[in-house]
Structure 1
């Protein structure tokens, strides 16, 4: 929601389009009349507006690019009108037309030459694999060329055009042809210099190892590292959290872990970890894992590219999901493609059998939820003046079912009822994908945030001193320093890979300690009476669990995870089912309060939280916790590790049997997974956000 008094993004874009039209019209009128002041002002104003658009309005640039009115076209039109104006202005020397036209054409030719060299340089720097936390000194990686020259053709064209446009305007105003010729000559030399400078990245000194050498290096690294268990992940820009939640668990497993990714942009989306990361975009290259010691891949999510790695017969595959809920998406028929499906507890096992999606009960393994260990258990009713309520609704889902999220039909009623109680402190943490499918969810989310902001404005009380804010700033800087790598603005994939080599010893422990310190500083920086809106990756949902006395959510994995604390919770019912049907359909609801769309149950919920004697669901929560998450002994991480070792050992035994059979049949060998790769899978086109790592503006330039 735009701040009060500020224009909306659409208003700004429409204004910019109108201004662009006005400048071109005024430039044409000034050239034809001719009127020198109007001509000069419109020419310079149009160039300045275009420079602004390239920096501040990429969305509008993309729209203009779709109708073939990109930066190159706009600048060419602007220069053409300038030439017409100079010819029409009577005081400008008449002999300027031919040399000026020649220089302008040469400048554009130099621009396209520079762009061609930039494409070659970017292609030459694109690697068949990307890595993190791996020593890549053997690949001859080098720093990237300047971003303006290599990846920003729109900005390069406009900036290099400034000397030429200024020179031509001086010629129009002062009637001296030399200014225009010198200005356009400078523009020409800048583009030629750009092409020459970029071409040095094509020379042997700056050229990386070729694709075959890189793949051979990968084979050698896999042979030296000898990974045993890995996590395979493929997904979109907003899905990285599905993999990040498993990083700590993967790091605790016996053996040598590995993270295998498919999208290039995802390499930087994975949180700080010491685990080696390998991104292999092409299917044919992915099949090299068959020759490695990798015996088990864990899958936190389904994707179209998952089927590609399932072709490798030497590796066993376990689906671990990124959260369990009563939704049908937790029982996707795709799960039967894996060797095993790992679930938290008996409830998920029963869910798969009731769903009848083809998953054999013998392939379902109960391992608990090891990443829930940071969640603190229930320790009694609220002790302070305020009851902290966490409202963490899920998103609307792909199918648009009104029962998926409470945000649309009940969110505002829930928040209004909570804000009405003066002893409530509300933490609002919506799902990051809220509003991505149904605009109504996004609009409701914005209204809810406005309600919370208004409620905060009506509250007052003591605030932490300036030292609390200073401590948070210090802890944030420390955490950022440990968890992020500082890149130059011009850094490309290759340079990032070079800088993100072998991590320093003990970094994982440093990150954990810095995260705990940051969380303490974060909560200490706010007064206990102030409602909070948490929309970023920090603080994480589990940290919010520990702050909350009660949870309000939807049918989602959030409820199952929160139940590990045994604290009270409520679930919004916007499905249209009766409360009895709702509880019967969704087992995770059975130990919680069911909220109708009008949220009339909120006062009774808060009363039970503050007075445990009125909490009639405490025993039900303890029983449901075991049903959903399994027993506490042995710990979940122990059961998870045992399952990983057992499935990896099964893969090893299978491979030994196949090897013996192949040895007994002369001239025969097991068909490799690579031989089954269809011709259509051997694509060489980079994925979205990929090889060349272009800026968004590149998509709309010539």
Structure 2
């Protein structure tokens, strides 16, 4: 009986070890990837990848067990221990070799024709984000250029969020040694979507490339007039409102750096919601979206701590509405999220007749929600300006009891109603938004100020600006990566 037990344990150990080694080998390959191209992955030894070797040990163990004798079992166990030690040693050496060969494999990816001919690059880093939504929102506009480009990622966890495309590949620069050039030789323009400090290293290392800040939204918040913006060669902005914002906040930037490109992610309204008051009696959709608290108090406009009050007064407004709540993606990592979630659940547990409520999935596209909404409730953020493009009514939250003097620095608020700090006036504000809509004329005027491309075909202004940059380049030939490293 003891021999049978040993036999079963040995067989299970062989199978488990074989599975673990192959899985660890796959994990190491992903953890040391140099690009989205499979050919640039480090190839593990066959002893780690081939399941036939594990099957051979299983066969030995089974044959040894069939003899029901201690000596065959001992021989089988010794084979297992020896082979396992060999595989673990190979696994450790493979991991070391994969890391050491990273730069060489990265250089091999640069020889791929799609990458070798790419004149545009997008650099992205933001370790705090679970998803790279700041960058992925620009994929469609860049793909629409019909120009090959590369995406340079600092965090490997973000790679899985970039779908395969015939126009771009992703390069991973997380393991690149300090001061090592990593742009393809053909690069003429590098786009950025945030003001992470790591951007400065890329700019400094590539003085012969045009560096353009896109940002991931246009808002009246401090990130949209960050003094760091002055280091870029050009700033692509939605409209005159964005340009005036820098000057209004004392950030001096040469006017010739700005390019008005609108928001290419936004399609012009195609339905009557944008220009006419909603019809009485029809069911409407109210979307509530929050921003995140940010890193500094002067950029904290987040209404998440008041979300339960806002949603309570919304669902109890007496309107036949479908309510959708979409928190900012970073909110789910906030220490107070569980408490917020519980309070929101309590506030929406008992819904009046004719009212529905749901929490938006974190992956839901905010631009799709803009289209679905008849009214948006949101914080001071880029969401306000993006939604302004639709022409539909909106309500701005007021978690800190803003004064009139304070709001003068936030012109985007003028096109919408301002909620009370306790949100108690939401029923009357929703009644106006879904009825007379008294701010419609002011909203249309503000939209023209915010979007310099309004009325033009979608993405036309953005494409013109990109093509103008590419045509203007007359750059000296850069040295190949290997020569730069040697220097």
TM-based fold match above 0.5: yes
Q: Distance in 2 between matches of 1:631 and 1:224?
A: 31
Contact 2:118 2:149 in 1 (8 A): yes
Q: Distance in 1 between matches of 2:322 and 2:47?
A: 51
- Which of these residues, 303, 322, 325, is aligned with residue 425 of structure 1? 322
Distance 1:587 1:118, change over 3 A: closer
Q: Distance in 1 between matches of 2:458 and 2:371?
A: 19
Higher mean displacement: 138-147 or 552-561: 138-147
What is the TM-score normalised by the length of structure 2?
A: 0.78
Specify the alignment match of 1:591 in structure 2: 415
Aligned-pair CA distance for 1:249: 0.5
- Aligned pairs for 1:231-242 within 5 A: 231-236=122-127, 237-242=129-134
Specify the alignment match of 2:149 in structure 1: 257
Report whether the alignment pairs 1:556 with 2:461.
no
What is the TM-score normalised by the length of structure 1?
A: 0.56
Specify the alignment match of 2:362 in structure 1: 536
Q: Distance in 1 between matches of 2:29 and 2:401?
A: 58
- Which of these residues, 109, 132, 146, is aligned with residue 218 of structure 1? 109
Q: Distance in 2 between matches of 1:358 and 1:416?
A: 44
Q: Secondary structure at the match of 1:590?
A: helix
- Aligned pairs for 1:297-316 within 5 A: 297-310=190-203, 311-316=205-210
Q: Secondary structure at the match of 2:418?
A: strand
- Which of these residues, 338, 347, 350, is aligned with residue 455 of structure 1? 350
Distance 1:530 1:332, change over 3 A: same
Contact 2:415 2:446 in 1 (8 A): yes
Q: Distance in 1 between matches of 2:443 and 2:88?
A: 64
Report whether the alignment pairs 1:339 with 2:233.
yes
Distance 1:316 1:283, change over 3 A: farther
Distance 1:370 1:288, change over 3 A: same
- Aligned pairs for 1:470-489 within 5 A: none
- Aligned pairs for 1:140-155 within 5 A: 141=43
Contact 2:180 2:485 in 1 (8 A): no
- Which of these residues, 19, 34, 38, is aligned with residue 129 of structure 1? 34
Specify the alignment match of 1:194 in structure 2: 84
- Aligned pairs for 1:242-641 within 5 A: 242-271=134-163, 273-274=165-166, 275-284=168-177, 287-289=180-182, 292-310=185-203, 311-373=205-267, 376=270, 378=274, 380-383=276-279, 385-400=282-297, 403-408=300-305, 410-422=306-318, 423-434=320-331, 436-437=333-334, 439-440=335-336, 443-452=339-348, 454-456=349-351, 529-538=355-364, 540-578=365-403, 580-612=404-436, 615-635=437-457, 637-641=459-463
Aligned-pair CA distance for 1:188: 6.7
Aligned-pair CA distance for 1:286: 8.3
- Aligned pairs for 1:11-90 within 5 A: none
Q: Distance in 2 between matches of 1:631 and 1:582?
A: 29
Distance 1:212 1:146, change over 3 A: closer
Specify the alignment match of 1:229 in structure 2: 120
How many residue pairs are counted as aligned between the two chains? 456
Q: Distance in 1 between matches of 2:212 and 2:353?
A: 50
Aligned-pair CA distance for 1:673: 11
Aligned-pair CA distance for 1:601: 2.3
Specify the alignment match of 2:65 in structure 1: none
The Cα offsets for residues 25-70 of structure 1, whole Å up to 9 and x where unpaired, read as: xxxxxxxxxxxxxxxxxxxxxxxxxxxxxxxxxxxxxxxxxxxxxx
Aligned-pair CA distance for 1:293: 1.2
The Cα offsets for residues 96-144 of structure 1, whole Å up to 9 and x where unpaired, read as: xxxxxxxxxxxxxxx99x9999999977886562225xxx558785799
Query: Which runs of 5 or more residues in structure 1 are unaligned?
Result: 1-110, 150-162, 164-177, 461-528, 663-668, 678-702
Specify the alignment match of 1:171 in structure 2: none
Aligned-pair CA distance for 1:385: 3.8
Structure with larger Rg: 1
Q: Secondary structure at the match of 1:373?
A: coil
Specify the alignment match of 2:12 in structure 1: none
Q: Distance in 2 between matches of 1:309 and 1:405?
A: 32
Aligned-pair CA distance for 1:566: 0.6
Contact 2:124 2:152 in 1 (8 A): yes
Distance 1:203 1:420, change over 3 A: closer
Aligned-pair CA distance for 1:296: 0.5
Aligned-pair CA distance for 1:357: 3.3
Q: With CA pairs under 8 Å and 6+ residues apart, which has the higher RCO, 1 or 2? A: 1
Specify the alignment match of 1:695 in structure 2: none
Distance 1:357 1:673, change over 3 A: farther
The Cα offsets for residues 216-262 of structure 1, whole Å up to 9 and x where unpaired, read as: 42332258741011211112242501011111001011532221212
Q: Distance in 2 between matches of 1:405 and 1:138?
A: 43
Aligned-pair CA distance for 1:290: 5.2
